[in-house]
Amino acid sequence: MSLALEVAGVYKFFGDFPALRDVSFKVAPGSVVALLGRNGAGKTTLLRIMAGLSQPSQGSVKVNGAEAREAGTRRRIGVLGHSISVYDELSAHENLTMFGSLYGLDDAGKRADAMLDRVGLGRVRDGLAREFSRGMRQRLAIGRAFLHDPELLLLDEPFTSLDDKAIAVLQTMLKEMRDRGRTVVMSTHQLREAMELSTHVTFIQRGEVAYDGERQDEMLKDTSWLYRTYGDN
């Protein structure tokens, strides 16, 4: 069975500073990986490389055996970054239809309607994103990332600054993804939510992989166990 994701010998330098050093790990299909580490450890840099938003200085990232920057590969990936990445001057429906078209969905309009209902924005589908509250905009961003039913979902601190409704929507959708055998990689500081959802944990320490393996029971009982055991302070 081919791997959902394979990160092999990835280095990333910003000038002389090595943000990532020889990062390698493999993710099997259907896994939910919590990508953990302190601020500045290199989680966002690594996720951006996996999403094809940045090139590694050295090494490779393969999704289902293909390069991350190939168009066919990007069609299989959903990305939810720090920012919401939706257009303020477009309506909720226009935003999702636009991204649906870019992903080659023939029924982009219908899929957008269905997704807006799922994230609780069906009644305001024609409202401009700039008129939405912060929580509504975050739910729209979640809808954008899930719209094309990605096989691999990359999430960068997805729970940060979400309101309770958006957290509930995201948790439900992530559990559905997991149950349907989709693969999820998420960086987060919300250890409780991450441990409950994840099947695997990759812990990054100063740009290097300090732990990569299945989620242990100790991690669920004591969320700081990983940092105490594998961290350097």
Partner 1 sequence: MYLRQIWTIAAKDLRSEMRTKEALNASVAFSMVILILFSFAFDQAEDLKGLLGGLLWLAYAFAGALVLNRSFARELQNDCLDALISSPAPPSAIFLGKALANFALLMAVELISLGVFAILYDVRLSGKLGLLSLVMLLATWGITVIGTTFSALTVNLTMRELMLPVLIYPFLIPVLMSAMILTTDLIAGVPIATNLVWLRVLVAFDIAFTAVTVLYIDVVLVG
Query: Where on the chain is the footprint of partner 1 (CB under 8 A)?
Result: 51-55, 69, 71-72, 74-75, 77, 79, 81-90, 94, 98-99, 101-104, 128, 144
Q: Which is nearer to partner 1, 128 or 220 (CB)?
A: 128
Q: Which is nearer to partner 1, 32 or 129 (CB)?
A: 129
Q: Which is nearer to partner 1, 46 or 195 (CB)?
A: 46
CB 85 within 8 A of CB 137: no
Least separation in angstroms between residue 142's CB and partner 1 is 13
Least separation in angstroms between residue 43's CB and partner 1 is 16
Tally of CB atoms within 10 A around 146: 22
End-to-end CA distance of the chain: 38
Angle between helices 108-118 and 92-102 (to 10 degrees): 130
Task: Find, among 43, 41, 132, 24, the residue nearest to 81 by Cα.
Answer: 43
Length of the chain in residues, anyone? 233
The pair of structure tokens assigned to 8 is: 């092999």
Q: Which is nearer to partner 1, 128 or 167 (CB)?
A: 128
Least separation in angstroms between residue 34's CB and partner 1 is 21
Q: Which is nearer to partner 1, 45 or 219 (CB)?
A: 45
Least separation in angstroms between residue 232's CB and partner 1 is 31
The span from the CA of 173 to the CA of 4, in Å, is 19
**Chain centroid to CA 208: how far?**
20
Least separation in angstroms between residue 3's CB and partner 1 is 20
Q: Which is nearer to partner 1, 55 or 224 (CB)?
A: 55
Least separation in angstroms between residue 51's CB and partner 1 is 5
Tally of CB atoms within 10 A around 115: 25
Angle between helices 134-146 and 92-102 (to 10 degrees): 20
